[in-house]
Amino acid sequence: MTDDTNNQVAYKTTTATEYAEDDVPLEVEPGEGTPFVVIPRGGVQEVGRSCYQLETRFGTYLVDAGLNQGDGGQFPDFRGIDEGQIDAVFLTHAHIDHVGALPVIESRQLLSPRAPIITTRPTEALASTLLKDSLKIHKEKAKDPGREQLYTDADVRKVLDRFEPRGYIRGDIQDYVPNLSDQETLTFEFGNAGHLLGSAWIAFETMGSRIVFSGDLGGRSNHLPDIEEPPKADSLFLESTYGSTENHDSADDTRTEIYSDAITAVRNQEPVLIPCFGVGRSQELLYIFKNRLHQLDNDTRSRIQLIYDGMAVSATNTYNQHAHGEFASESIRNLRVNNGEDQPFHPDQAEAGYHIDRQEALDNERIPIIIAPSGMLSGGWAPSYLVEFAERYDHANIFLCGFQAEGTPGRQLEEAITADTETIEIILPALRLGEGVPDADDGTTVEIPSTWISRYSGLSAHGARDTLRWFARLVSPEEITLVHGEPDQQRALAANLADKVETVTGIRIGGMMDATPVRPRTDNKTDSALTDRPATKLLDEAEHELTFDETATAADIDHSDLVYRMDALEMALRTIDAELGVARHDDTLSEAEIRSIVRDEVKSLLTEEGILD
């Protein structure tokens, strides 16, 4: 505990449990007094391979299934899961550390034949891009001595066929999974997490108990809505990436700083490489340049060669297609509706890497600003560009603007900023442009001047401790389990939450395969699932999107605007359907009361649309 901890809330640290055999027993079986048991299979005391097995009395589910880009095991530990045991997978968002292991699950036949993968519409689209790209990398690495290919193209196709995309609404598992026991009463809710397009926290409820998985929490993006308030719950599984950082630097100031430093570099004839996640951070950066490049004088603007590459290209296309309605910030929605902008993440002069000769782009008179994955320089095009920079330039710039996991080249560069050394020698998993990929793990050794490296912390897509604490207070759980964070971050956050979250009686720093029981809270303060997000509330929030001019003709209505209005209408209708499913499992409501609720919701919806007076 830290010195500022005044109460006696206990937290415990658990570690990986070693099993000699594939049989991994449940220490606690779900039942009437223990509606949920959660078994972390990755994503504990590390940032990577997030995967949490959620057991109810009548079903087995996974929340996320990612891979690790840094040190440690690459995939989650699936020992003890039988073939066909998993009834459904829920995804919080489409980053590789949350979705990358899905094809492995498919390859090992751990999913039941008709098990769905339930997530948001943008997550489905982005996951498709990620998994196809990850397959290419996996097949290349499988050629190295001692490596084996763990999944195939067919496994990726089967995974993508399982997706059940949705909006930020509530659902009943019986409507998604065939052949479940009729006694399974699990309901779930997705709420916006503000981390990535389509990112979500997920709340589950059964047998009078509720658990919330935070996923990755953001709330700092210029193109995403704010984090949606979660419901109260008995237990919270909370990310802890920046658990020791009370506040981040200003995001607005950081955007200005990155842009200004990039333009200064161009004026000094120095190239800029910005390694970043292909999904999320790349689009944030492109949006910065789109909003500001037009303000430059013509001479400076003509000297810039803005390149975005690799997965950032296809992900940007997906962002342009899906960033609207409930998935986009008000500024993006206004840009689309008021300006008719259908590519809000594409600056006019930006060029996709596959449309140009990359080597020639570094040879011409224009100064390159390159946005390319991966953010940790552990793969993608960024390492190849950095190899070229090291070979070609005496002066260049590397902008690090995202989390750097232990064991990655990006972490080595980050640590060099404060080290007492003029250069840092690192091994990059790449060759020079046009030379393909390394045959083995050795890669290319380069020497980078420390003066090239700059660190920008204000763009983090992960909330700082103040955001995590705010979220935990809203959930008001009795038990918190910390996941998705390095041990020092988790210890700092555990001490802070123990002191600052009044409802908490225990905090765990989760361990691999450590079964965590979830029991109904003792103070009976969880709110009603039926009234958290009624369809009428959604209609009120979307009123401007659902209002049509009575005199308007089809030709007068902008197509994109029509899409947004239909999105809102669909969302409300699906919410009514979901609420009906939830109500059927609420023993406190009679059938007549259920019919009355649905009748009132439908009447409100039809009146709002002018179909009823």
Residue 565 lies in a domain: yes
Between 411 and 443, where is the model more confident? Answer: 411
416 and 550 both lie in a single domain = no
3-state SS, one letter per residue, for 315-372: HHHHHHHHCCHHHCCHHHHHHHHHHCCCCCCCCCCCEEHHHCCHHHHHHCCCEEEEEE
Provide the pLDDT for residue 521: 77
Q: Give the mean pLDDT of 253-276.
A: 97
Percent of the chain at pLDDT above 70?
79
My answer on whether 184 and 49 are in the same domain is yes
Same domain for 513 and 390 = no
For residue 351, is pLDDT > 90?
yes
Residue 539 pLDDT grade (very low, low, confident, very high; cuts 50, 70, 90): very low
pLDDT value at residue 595:
57
Rounded Cα distance between 441 and 140, Å, is 11
On whether both 295 and 240 belong to a single domain, the answer is no
Tokens read off for 543: 């009123």
410: tokens are 């990006």
Read off the pLDDT of each residue in 229-233 and give the average, rounded to a whole number.
Answer: 98
Which pLDDT score, from 0 to 100, does residue 1 have?
36
Cβ pair 270, 262 in contact under 8 A = no
Q: Which long-range contacts (CB under 8 A, 24 or more apart) does 425-430 make?
A: 428/377, 428/383, 428/384, 428/386, 428/387, 429/378, 429/379, 429/383, 430/383, 430/384, 430/386, 430/387
**Residue 340 structural domain:** 263-455
Report residue 229's pLDDT band, with 50, 70 and 90 as the boundaries.
very high
Q: Same domain, yes or no, for 485 and 386?
A: no
My answer on whether 310 and 191 are in the same domain is no
Crossing angle for the helix pair 121-141 and 311-322, to the nearest 10 degrees: 170
In whole angstroms, what is the distance from residue 432 CA to residue 359 CA?
9
Choosing from 518, 542, 565, the residue where a domain stops is 518
* Integer angstrom CA distances of residue 99 from 132, 498, 506, 566: 12, 31, 30, 29
Please indicate, yes or no, if residue 165 is contained in any of the structural domains.
Answer: yes
- In this structure, the answer to whether residues 389 and 281 fall within a common structural domain is yes
Domain boundary among 403, 429, 455: 455
With a cut of 60, say whether residue 20 has pLDDT above it. no
87-112 average pLDDT score: 97
pLDDT for position 136 = 86
Is residue 3 domain-resident? no
State the pLDDT at residue 5: 40
Residue spans of beta strands (DSSP E) within 408-501 = 423-428, 444-449, 453-455, 479-483
Distances (CA, A) of 316 to 215, 278, 369, 448: 22, 8, 17, 30
Check whether residue 346 and residue 215 sit in a common domain: no
**Which of the listed residues 455, 481, 507 is the one where a domain comes to its end?**
455
Please give the average per-residue pLDDT across 589-596, as a whole number: 58
Please tell me the pTM assigned to this model.
0.81
The confidence score (pLDDT) of residue 553 equals: 45
Q: Are residues 122 and 170 in the same domain?
A: yes
CA distances from 50 to 15, 40, 101, 200, 292 (A): 15, 8, 9, 14, 36
Question: How large is the average pLDDT for residues 215-219?
Answer: 95
What pLDDT digit, counting tens, does each position of 156-212 carry? 999 999 999 999 999 999 999 998 999 999 999 999 999 999 999 999 999 999 999
When pLDDT is cut at 50, 70 and 90, the band that residue 542 belongs to is very low
Q: Tell me the torsion sign for CA atoms 86, 475, 583, 198.
A: negative
User: 549 and 470, same structural domain?
Assistant: no
Two tokens at 505? 């009686």
**Minimum mean pLDDT range among 52-61, 323-332, 580-589:** 580-589
Q: Are residues 510 and 602 in the same domain?
A: no
- Please check whether residue 433 lies inside any domain of the structure: yes
Instruction: Assess if residue 523 is contained within a domain.
Output: no
Reported as type and span, the H/E element at residue 51 is strand 51-55
Which pLDDT score, from 0 to 100, does residue 589 have? 56
> Domain count of the chain?
3
Distance in angstroms (rounded) separating the CA atoms of residues 586 and 207: 9
* Helices first, then strands: H and E counts in the chain: 18, 23
- Judged by average pLDDT, the poorest of 19-28, 217-226, 322-331 is 19-28
